[in-house]
Structure 1
């Protein structure tokens, strides 16, 4: 592994890595705050990576809005912001290594062909089914750990069956690299020691662990945070039209306080009226991942 920075003796380096498909919402704030506090209480670094690997999903100006929102909430980052859209050569190099090891293969199958199977059944593992069709590149999940095990700081030791997860896409038919490969390469090259993120990404971890092993990368520690849901039980997301974060002083203070509550840190009620700097200082002084509930979801606060 070659770090992008010269410091190779990193005690803790974490990151927040949003996809700029729109402004941040309350669920994004909870994930960002959890990763920020976990890094700061350890005396570590907290970096920001813009995961704009899929340009069609990222409207112009959205990434700049995301960075402004983080600044408005007092979430200051270390290092330079990494932009995934500039990283294609690094991802291609990693994919080439996987192909050489027989761990990645070209696949011409369409989702329509295999949708009744639930997960892709690996038809192209022994050769491309249709040499005339565009191809994606997939990871062979059958050559990974069986079963796949990893430790989560909140949930303990978890076990997954790679066959139940299927052969994930690493590079799409439109030549864009997929999230699973990009995030593993970037975490390694940026020297990330800890990954703190939402519970919705939990089942991505076995694929990422397999890629880390195949590429000779260190394996970071993981902490998956309980999700924030809307009144209808759906995860807060841009796709579900979650309201964007507040941009006024009163709203920012209240939402940051609500995020501390959502992270089970039990802040005192008077803290809700304090500016972000004071709320974050309280959060760093009192942060405990052990307080987090293991339930996968919790409701978002009601707008006043």
Structure 2
């Protein structure tokens, strides 16, 4: 039997020439997997990076995109006892072996065989997909498939970066560089939930900054009108912030490091402006700074962060919904 899937047959930009609907075989779940009928899937910035490709990314084409999704179980593998046909589920996009030293100590996003749905293996822009049973979380009846799909990757990534890796504490001040990205819109909300004293957000236009304010940002800085690292210096009485969330990279690292106070942490999960960064090393040792990178989230982060979504404490940001 076949299903409809959104695939790309060559790397490039998002165009009808590279991305199209295609009939693909319906996957058969392995013993420890379930087959999920995908009811909603979200387009993430990661999907566009995968489509563009990079030298070390090796994929079998055509490739099914999509890291974020939610749906209903339609079949279970022979070893799966905790799930049943008809269960509504959210999906953790991070795949780990469960056996290496990192997995055994709960750091499964550092797994030696870590992979991401839609990035390294076929994803969720399809009518059905087989996923490991351990990657599921029950989706409450009052939460829509679209909400779960839109929230998952960005929320768990922001949660791991800010809380698990970054150690955000109540009363600290946080600067988020970029007002419109999915991880950053989640980070604004998580920082406020964690008790951040002030959340500063740098953005490129007032519309994006207005949306950030609606999500909880306290102070808005338009980089088109002001030098934001100097503004932070003045707004914090020349102390600097405790944490900077910077997933832009090369274009913003110098200002991000200057905006940090002594003992501050720069958190990063991406490099939108490019992977090669030049920094003034004197800032690192002179101000006792930490540069903390992370990828995705652990299973425990997934469970904790998605409960925040299910209870309405973190909002999924949805722009437009299209039928497959």
Q: Same fold (TM over 0.5)?
A: no
Q: Which has the higher helix share?
A: 1
Which structure is higher in RCO with an 8 Å CA cutoff and minimum separation 6? Answer: 1
TM-score if structure 1 supplies the norm length? 0.31
| TM-score calculated relative to the size of structure 2 | 0.29
